[in-house]
Structure 1
Amino acid sequence: MIIDGKLFAEGLRAKLTEQIAVLKQNNGITPGLTVILVGEDPASQVYVRNKQKFAQECGMNSVTIKKDAETTQEELLEVIQALNNDASVHGILVQLPLPKHIHEQTVLQAILPEKDVDGFHPVNVGRLSIGEQSLVPCTPLGSLLLLKDKLGNLSGKKAVIVGRSNIVGKPMLQLLLKENCTVTIAHSRTENLPAVCRDADIIVAAVGQPRLIKGDWVKEGATVIDVGINRIEENGKNRLVGDVDYDEVAPKASFITPVPGGVGPMTIACLLRNTLTAACMQSGIQDPNQIK
């Protein structure tokens, strides 16, 4: 079965819209998300427009601050500090990548952990690793929601994550461990990667190599989550493909995410979920599902 991430994301946004309406009516709180965009990267501009559009549709206050590519690191840090001090801003997101003269980690660490809706601050990374409540990176969180929706209880399943990035691979490891999976992280130095993958009940591909995962790497009935988004030229046309060779793998998998239309739509939906969570936590509400 194909996992329709677009449809699931629509349902998640609908639930968030209801929760935000209740939060406004009963608590007088409107979640606020501010996105900072530095430079003119075309892909980043599209992502930021979509984030603002969906945030506003859900009933959030959404603001985009655009800075030119020559903005200094010090100027950017001043903007973040002002947002840290603004109680109406519950979530701050700095769109990556940043211009080369700006150190990404310095900027990300300047965001208050409770407003870090990307989940990249070391405090949130640490909280996730020891099982405390935290803001979780959006793409792995979206992947987990899709897995639990299709498989239910993940306890005891063997999971292989191909890719060890701070954005997907490592937080995905922590999320699956919390679900009591037995987890292997594979990467460029892993020996006999096909054999490692063939042992998995769940494969999460997040390595950035087009169609790396082949049909004979996947056992019958496995669930495959393809996080990769790669633009390639094929037959004279540009197209998006994942890290999984979809045509080969789909016949063997019990569930598989397509590219596009799988994990991608979940990333923005989970950003909005994180913003609501951040607004609730900052207001003393520990669980958005307990909004009254």
Structure 2
Amino acid sequence: MTTTINGTRIAQRIRSQVAEEVATAARSGRIPGLATILVGDDPASAVYVAAKRRAIKEAGMRDFHRFLPQHATQDDVAAVVDELAADPQVSGILLQLPLPPQLDADALIDRIPVTKDVDGLTTASAGLLARGERGLRPCTPSGVIELLDAEKVPLKGARVAVVGWGELVGKPLTHLLLRRGATVTVAHEFTTDLAAVTRLADIVVVATGVRGLIGPEHVRPGAVVIDVGIHRTPSGLSGDVRSAELDGIADRITPVPGGVGPMTIAMLMVNTLRAAQWGAEREAVVA
């Protein structure tokens, strides 16, 4: 039988640990704070930001939220980012994506100081990751690594197929896996004979945004499958993997929902705490 990886349980354990550390920091007067910026009226974005704000409050952190209307200009959003960047109470800044079409998301993200880039999406953060230097890593790839560690899945020497080459998951996850000693092959939905690539892997991580792309023909018996995709369908949420068809083939698999999704918010909490801690370190050195 295939074991379902309980991402919700693992994420809750991480969030509880963060809350304990925040409570300790609060006793010395240092409370981490996350600033979320929501631009426009995208319903899904509003739901995601609300979930992140709830998690922040539950962890005992400060919640700094800014909302801008759909017609906000580049200068409007840039001014908010700059204001939060200069605020010493704000440990981390998250600009919720996607943005309205008139805005240049890359330019706005790169205005976030690397020390407050809790999404790990700035060019500077990507450089630190590529060089293996200390920095804030993208939340979803970090969550995938935490899931594998929690399940005691060996990474050193493992053959891993990362299906998806995106900036949010595929590329940063590849760097994280290589740093852990895995042998990584990057593929995508356009790969010729995708099954020939993925069936060699001990671990298959799928983040393509293509619903149901991966099935039993892509997975060797005993492999671990991590499904990062999430799609809304009339019958509920589904992922990039046809999970039901892998029962009895995969050793372990993440469900959708309840797999990688909860880990993303948990790692956002971790990043906000780390940003606050590292900020305190820098202040101590300056003093």
- TM tier, shorter chain? over 0.9
- The residue number in structure 1 matching 2:164 is 163
- Across the aligned residues of Structure 1 and Structure 2, the Cα RMSD in angstroms comes to 1.2
Separation of aligned partners in 2, 1:214 and 1:221: 14
Secondary structure in 1 matching 2:44: helix
Residue 182 (str. 1) matches residue 179 (str. 2) = no
Name the residue aligned to 1:14.
16
1:24 matched residue in structure 2: 26
What stretches of structure 2 of length at least 5 have no aligned partner? Answer: none
Corresponding residue of 1:120: 121
**8 Å CA contact retained: 2:189, 2:213:** no
The AA in structure 1 aligned to 2:116 is K
Structure 1 counterpart of 2:16, one-letter code: A
Contact 2:32–2:276 at 8 Å: present in 1 too? yes
Instruction: Indicate the SS of the match to 1:17.
Output: helix
Matched, 1:135 2:123: no
Q: Distance in 1 between matches of 2:122 and 2:251?
A: 35
Distance (Å, rounded) in 2 between the aligned partners of 1:23 and 1:206: 36
Match of 1:258 among 243, 247, 255: 255
2:64 touches 2:90 (CA, 8 Å); kept in 1? no
Report the alpha carbon displacement of residue 238 of structure 1 after superposing the two structures with TM. Answer: 3.6
Question: Following superposition, which runs of at least 4 residues in structure 1 exceed 3 angstroms of deviation?
Answer: none
Deviation at 1:191? 1.7
Name 2:237's counterpart in structure 1.
240
Instruction: Describe how 1:44-83 pairs up with structure 2 within 5 A.
Output: 44-83=45-84
d(CA) in 2 for partners of 1:203, 1:115: 31
- Report the 3-state secondary structure (helix = DSSP H, G, I; strand = E; otherwise coil) of the residue aligned with 1:6: helix
TM-score (norm 1): 0.94
Structure 1 gaps of 5+ residues are 287-292
Residues 95-117 of structure 1 show CA distances to partners (whole Å, capped at 9, x for unaligned) of: 00000000000000000010010
Distance in 1 between residues matched to 2:227 and 2:153, nearest whole Å: 19
2:276 counterpart (266, 269, 279) = 279
For 1:2-33, what per-residue CA distance to the aligned partner results, in whole angstroms no more than 9, with x for missing partners? 111111111111000101111111x3210000
The CA deviation at 1:151 is: 2.6
1:154 positional shift:
1.2
Task: Answer yes or no: is the 8 Å Cα contact 2:10–2:150 preserved in 1.
Answer: no
Question: Matched residues, percent identical?
Answer: 43
- CA distance in 2 between counterparts of 1:199 and 1:207 reads 19
Cα distance between partner residues in 2 of 1:66 and 1:168: 26
Which segment drifts farther, 146-155 or 129-138?
146-155
Q: Match of 1:208, SS?
A: coil
TM-score normalised to structure 2 length = 0.96
